Amino acid sequence: MVDFTLSDEQKDLRELAHDFAAKEIRPVAWEYDRESTWPQEIVEKAWEVGLMNPHLPEEYGGPGLDYLSGCLLEEELAWGCSGIGTSLTCNGLALAPVALGGSEEIKRHYLGMLAEEPKLASFCLTEPDAGSDVSGMRTTAVRKGSSYVINGTKTFITNGSHADWYTVYAKTDMDAGHKGISAFVVPREAGVTVDKKEDKLGQRASDTAMVSFHDVEIPAENLLGEENKGFKLAMMTLDRTRPGVAAMAVGIGRAAMEFASDYAKERVQFGVPIAMHQAIQFMIADMATKVEAARLLVWQSGALLDQGKRNTLACSHAKRFAADSAMEIATDAVQVYGGYGFIKDYPVEKLMRDAKIMQLYEGTSQIQRLVIAREVLMPRRVTEAATA
Ligand code: CAA
């Protein structure tokens, strides 16, 4: 049976997230975008009402929500502002490898920290010369007695300037490609340096930083999972977070569609609201279909995880389609507004700028296609990876 009915708890969560987005995020979103303001107060309020860290396991003080619920929450927050939404949800990316590979003591300490206070954590995978090609990373972690010493630079790190701890991927064997990468949890006070906050095209209320590690020494117990098994941990993490990112893209698309529809009903040209013209109607209709189709892919990619099934293909479909759709919808929303759409006094140019990152972060649309093509063309190869 296929049943798209949400539970009462899921409906309540969606309503809570929507109210929060409407009251706390929307009213300041355009101002925060203009000034590139870090939304500290909103982070604290969201934590207070229980909208942060949805997948933090209950045994470490979190709500331990299912992945479909996380998607509902992320769509609503991004409907309010995807930049602020990214700031509020990015802990999920850092905490997943800890939950998957950390020792009991590490989980109690680092996951517990997120439950006790509105703290932030960042996921450090990408490097200046290693983006899509994760195996090309050059950060190293060298074992020294009961410690590891980390050296290297990570870039495009969401919440990097504000994080209290970092999940860091580094080479423990320089000659072994993806089989030489390990994952570590690194507390900020171990000596993480924030080099630069990026000045971005969109999602300007989110923090994106370059961070570096100069002889940063951490206890060997901070290794997540086994040495040289970090690549797989990173991929398993992305399988768990891409549904939520795709849900944020749905939130942007939905917001752009709503603005375009409202404007089309008000704006009069040739004696009638432009919504009466079929040229506009068809654009709105295509927006609506894309939002619906993207959401179904998102729900499927979250629901598979909740059923304990592999969702690699499903989340690449969802991320690719939702991100590309958000970009198309936001671009068409600007078109519906005509010349006004290009002006910052009107809301949709921000959404067009914000949508662009959805096709870039957590795996570009091209990387999602690569995953999809591999699974379609060589399903056996990837099925083996899933059960490894
Ligand atoms: N689950 C488990 N294992 C997986 C897997 C998955 N989803 N995907 C791959 N693997 C396994 C493979 O089976 C293989 O295993 P074996 O060693 O046992 O054979 C191994 O991992 C290597 O896999 P590939 O040969 O497929 O590796 P590749 O080098 O070709 O890379 C890739 C694959 C899909 C391109 C991957 O590198 C990738 O996803 N790149 C994009 C990275 C990305 O999304 N970066 C964004 C970082 S987060 C961010 O954006 C910052 C932020 O703060 C928001």
Q: Which helix (H) or strand (E) holds 218?
A: strand 208-219
Which atom of ligand 1 approaches the CA of 385 most closely?
A: 13
Domain positions in the chain are: 8-116, 121-228, 231-377
Q: How confident is the model at residue 2 (pLDDT cuts 50, 70, 90)?
A: confident
Of 48, 49, 41, which Cα lies nearest the Cα of 12? Answer: 49
Q: With 0-12 CB in 10 A as exposed, 13-18 as middle and 19+ as buried, what is 374?
A: middle
Residue 240 pLDDT greater than 50, yes or no: yes
Segments in 267-337 forming alpha helices (H) = 278-306, 312-337
Over residues 365-385, the mean pLDDT reads: 80
> pLDDT tens for residues 98-148?
999 999 999 999 999 999 999 999 999 999 999 999 999 999 999 999 999
Percentage above 70 pLDDT, the chain:
97
Give residue 381's pLDDT band: very low, low, confident or very high (50, 70, 90).
Answer: low
Nearest CA to 370 out of 317, 294, 333, 331 is that of: 317
Confidence band, pLDDT 50/70/90 cuts, at residue 224? very high
* Catalytic residue (choose from 24, 362, 375, 384): 362
Query: From the alpha carbon of 239, which atom of ligand 1 is closest?
Result: 7
- Centre of ligand 1 to C-alpha 163, Å, is 24
Q: H or E segment at 209? A: strand 208-219
Mean pLDDT in residue range 13-32: 98
Query: How much distance in Å is there from the Cα of 122 to the middle of ligand 1?
Result: 18
Q: What is the CATH number of domain 8-116?
A: 1.10.540.10
The domain 121-228 having CATH identifier 2.40.110.10: the answer here is yes
Cα–Cα distances (Å) from 229 to 54, 124, 166, 321, 388, in that order, read 26, 16, 18, 30, 11
Q: Per-residue pLDDT averaged across 30-49, rounded? A: 98
How far is CA 135 from each of CA 116, 143, 153, 169, rounded to the nearest angstrom? Answer: 35, 20, 15, 10
Q: Kindly list the protein residues whose Cβ atom lies closer than 6 A to any atom of ligand 1.
A: 93, 123, 125-126, 132, 134-135, 156-158, 178-179, 231-232, 235-236, 238-239, 312, 361-363, 367, 370-371, 385, 388
Cα three-residue angle 193-115-81, rounded to 5 degrees: 70
SS3 state at 225: coil
Q: What percent of the chain has pLDDT over 90?
A: 96
**Per-residue pLDDT reduced to its tens digit, 181-205:** 999 999 999 999 999 999 999 999 9
Q: What is the pLDDT of residues 147-168, one digit of tens each?
A: 999 999 999 999 999 999 999 9
Residue with tokens 């992305």: 238
Q: 354: buried, middle or exposed (CB in 10 Å: 19+, 13-18, 0-12)?
A: buried
Virtual torsion, Cα 201, 114, 98, 91, nearest 10 deg: -20
- Under 8 Å between Cβ of 161 and 209: yes
Neighbours of 24 (CB within 10 A): 21
- Structural contact between residues 14 and 73, judged by C-beta atoms closer than 8 angstroms: yes
List, for residues 303-348, the tens digit of each pLDDT value: 999 999 999 999 999 999 999 999 999 999 999 999 999 999 999 9
Q: Which of 124, 148, 169 is nearest to 219 (CA)?
A: 148
Judge whether 221 counts as a catalytic residue. no
For 164, the token pair is 């209290």
If you classify domain 231-377 with CATH, what class do you get?
mainly alpha
